[in-house]
Amino acid sequence: MTVQTEPMRVSTDVLVIGTGGAGLRAAIELDSRGQRVLLLGKRPKADAHTVLAAGGINAALGTLDPQDTWQIHAADTLKEGRYLGDAEAVELLCREAPNAIAELVEYGVPFACEADGRLSQRYFGAHRYRRTCFVGDYTGQAIIEGLVREVDRRQIPIMERVYVTDLLTAEGRVNGALGFQLEDGQEVIIHAGAVILAAGGHIHIYQRSSSRRRENTGDGMTLAFSVGASLADMELVQFHPSGMVWPTELEGTLVTEAVRGEGGRLLNSAGERFMARYDAERMELSTRDRVALANYTEIMAGRGTQHGGVWLDVSHLPAEVIHSRLPRMYAQFAAVGVDITKEPMEIAPTAHYSMGGLRVTPRTHATEVPGLYAAGEVTAGVHGANRLGGNSLAEILIFGRIAGEHAHEYAKTQPVLPLDESLIAAKRAALAQLRTLDGATQRELIAALQWAVWQGVGVVRTAEDLEHALRRLAEIRAQAEASETGYGDLPAALDLRSMLLTAEATVRSALLRTESRGAHQRADYPETDPAWQRSIVVLPQRTAAGTNTGMSLTTAELPEPSAEVAAALDEAEFEVAGRLLE
Ligand SMILES: Cc1cc2nc3c(=O)[nH]c(=O)nc-3n(C[C@H](O)[C@H](O)[C@H](O)COP(=O)(O)OP(=O)(O)OC[C@H]3O[C@@H](n4cnc5c(N)ncnc54)[C@H](O)[C@@H]3O)c2cc1C
């Protein structure tokens, strides 16, 4: 990779980092308020992680179930999140979700409709009513296509395949970013009045994750933490019950819960339908965290398959049903030589979603660092200890818009500070050094980190495993710092940097939370402790000159829900039937 000596310089009013749903929606908001905005992402513009979302997006429209309301949607979200969601953020989300759907319809997203033209809504797990809108099994892709069309129509500039390495600051305020073009290494400096981070989650720290390669490496969280923002709820990682276990290149790839919804049976190596031991009533249609835990327990108890999974079998269903209801799954397994009309699928839990992330004020989506806003999976707040399926797509649109609105206000009223050239020189020198590190070693260290995280802070955690993981992370960090020079792979070195930081925050937070709740299961603290109905906050430790030296942890209280949502929570307990899931 040859590097031009002089960086390219660009300026804008607001820079949006990330071209997933949250970033695209934020940019549309800024443009509609007449502000200059630049969108930037490390992948091609219509190919952000959001395209993977299949199942749908939630809003209490009440089209099929008129009893549904935003208050009940909020109650379901808080309940499924085991009361660790921020009630203020949850209420904003549920109130605004119908507007987000209306906007998407305006952008031409072809949602499924009933015969009378009203939008169809389907059940997702743990929803009291049908409130999930969908476009076949490619809702995320259809949303991205609609948003990209709108961004193109407005001629909003997008820089594709640019990797942001650092946020730039002056007088403690964010005023730009440094990055480089992935194609030719050309450095890019962007001077901006405000920055919105919409750079996705951190689940790639796990050996098995439903994310694609080189996405969700925790970049956004690391960029913001490095300039003084704090993180929250990092221990709360959602595990999906079913990801592929082989071949290695596809390990973790999602096997949709619709397979269970259609009647798929889970079997261990002895052919036993083991869900009878974990949830005899709902069996395979139990909640996401319970099925993930059951699969994990069977594998750990030595009743797993050769590749360390369990069997998921639909071969008892008529082949026509499989072809018509699960065409994507049929194709996904056929591509690796497994005919699911005849043979079972080998699956295991896979890390799926970062419920923790940057700490933001719900109303503005401002971080604690002036000039820096964030939206989407990079943030904490809404999902608590277990995300309600379909809420994330609503979140990225609503909070993308809100971040855009408030970044606009900030950039309009605050003078833009000049770039600090000595800071830029120091950052560029650090990058030049990272460029020389041996790429193969960086990639090996990433694999070692992913294994340490999977073993240490996976589906079930103990103090002993978490402490071991912390020691392994320290060793990997030391090895990374002592890396030999060689044929450089700067993206790998940077991915490793972000993964080390976010993995450490995840492990330390999981160690501190001495209870089990939702996706956070501690074998040594199996009960839910009401005293732990608090958020865990990870603060950067900083020198007077603003350099990070480590992290410290504290806890924060969560706001109470409003009276109307509290009333919806108090309503009779509802039972979740077997319903379509992500
Ligand atoms: C298989 C799968 C199925 C899902 N199904 C559903 C569903 O049915 N319903 C639902 O609600 N949710 C679903 N989700 C979750 C949902 O898709 C995501 O949470 C959501 O799309 C995140 O959007 P985002 O805009 O926050 O981030 P992303 O879409 O992840 O976009 C992040 C962007 O940031 C860019 N970026 C990251 N780091 C850098 C950097 N250093 N420099 C430059 N750019 C950077 C990336 O290139 C990307 O453009 C699913 C997730 C998966 C994995």
Q: Ligand 1 pocket, 198 CB below 6 A?
A: yes
Q: What is the number of the ligand 1 atom nearest to the C-alpha of 377?
A: 26
Question: Which residue, among 473, 482, 539, has the nearest Cα to 504 in the 3D structure?
Answer: 473
- The confidence score (pLDDT) of residue 582 equals 57
- The confidence score (pLDDT) of residue 434 equals 93
Catalytic residues: 240, 260
Q: Ligand 1 pocket, 256 CB below 6 A?
A: no
Spell out the SS3 assignment of 418-455.
Answer: CCCHHHHHHHHHHHHHHHCEEHHHHHHHHHHHHHHHHH
What does the DSSP assignment read for 82-126? TT-S-HHHHHHHHHHHHHHHHHHHHTT----B-TTSPBP-B--TT
Question: Which residue, among 553, 518, 490, 469, has the nearest Cα to 206 in the 3D structure?
Answer: 469
- The confidence score (pLDDT) of residue 576 equals 47
Q: Is 320 exposed, middle or buried (0-12, 13-18, 19+ CB in 10 A)?
A: exposed
CA of 285 to the centre of ligand 1 (A): 26
Task: Report the distance separating Cα 523 and Cα 463, nearest Å.
Answer: 9
Residue nearest to atom 44 of ligand 1 (CA): 41
DSSP 388: P
Pocket test for ligand 1, best of 38, 42, 162 (most atoms within 8 A of CB): 42
Class of domain 239-349: alpha beta
Q: Where exactly are the structural domains of the chain?
A: 239-349, 421-540
- The pLDDT averaged over each successive group of 10 residues in the chain (582 residues) is 76 98 98 98 93 92 95 95 97 98 98 94 84 89 97 98 98 98 97 98 95 91 98 97 90 88 92 95 84 93 94 96 86 94 96 97 98 98 94 98 98 97 97 93 96 96 98 97 86 97 98 96 97 98 89 98 95 53 56
Q: What is the CATH number of domain 421-540?
A: 1.20.58.100
- The confidence score (pLDDT) of residue 580 equals 46
* pTM listed for this prediction: 0.95
